Amino acid sequence: MLDLPDGIDDRAVAEAAGRLGVAVVPLSQHCVAPRGPALILGYGQVTEPAIPAAVSALAGAIRSAQ
């Protein structure tokens, strides 16, 4: 799980990341009680050489949502 800064829309970040080829799930779609924004990350099908590019893309998606 990756906590995001307050005020960031985790659903918008997940959508932006998806457009960049990085699949993440916004935690808000699974929470019943209010909680700060966060993303659920998985890495089971990601090869190690692909991780730096995915992290960079995810960072860009987070910046675009600020």
Q: Is the pTM value of this prediction over 0.95?
A: no
Residue 45 burial (C-beta neighbours within 10 Å; 0-12, 13-18, 19+): exposed
Q: Would you say residue 15 has pLDDT above 90?
A: yes
pLDDT, tens only, 31-66:
888 899 999 999 888 899 999 999 999 999 999 988
Contact 18, 6 (CB under 8 A): no
Q: Across-strand partners of 25?
A: 40
